[in-house]
Amino acid sequence: MVDKNDVAAVLELIRPSLIADGGDVTLVDVLDDGTVAVELIGACKGCPLSQMTLANGIERILKERVPGVTRVIPAEEMAQ
């Protein structure tokens, strides 16, 4: 099971890069299957490159640094 505190700590490392571009990220939940749900806010929320930010940035870094993370999804996908 993925430790939510570990995920939050890594997001704190990522956050300054997002803030520099006018955005930010909020941890919404960590599911039992290793899925991490986040909400992109600020400039990141409506950015056409937000999927790339999730996949090539946030997801890649979380998978490298937090054992058990399988994927990162936008929070709105949780309701589907």
Residues 38, 29: Cα–Cα separation, whole Å: 7
Whether 24 is covered by a domain: the verdict is: yes
Residue ranges, the chain, pLDDT below 70: 79-80
> Using an 8 Å Cβ cutoff, are 70 and 21 in contact?
no
Q: How many domains does the chain have?
A: 1
How confident is the model at residue 53, as a pLDDT? 80
Predicted confidence at residue 63, as pLDDT, reads: 96
For residue 79, is it within any domain? no
- Whether the CB-CB separation of 34 and 69 falls below 8 Å is answered with yes
Q: Cα torsion for 13, 16, 19, 21, to the nearest 10°?
A: -110
Please report whether residue 78 resides in a domain. no
- Supply the range of the domain harboring residue 53: 4-71
pLDDT digits (tens, 9 = 90+) for 47-61: 788 888 887 889 999
In degrees and rounded to multiples of 5, residue 72 shows phi and psi of: -125, 130
Give this prediction's pTM: 0.90
> CATH code at 26?
3.30.300.130
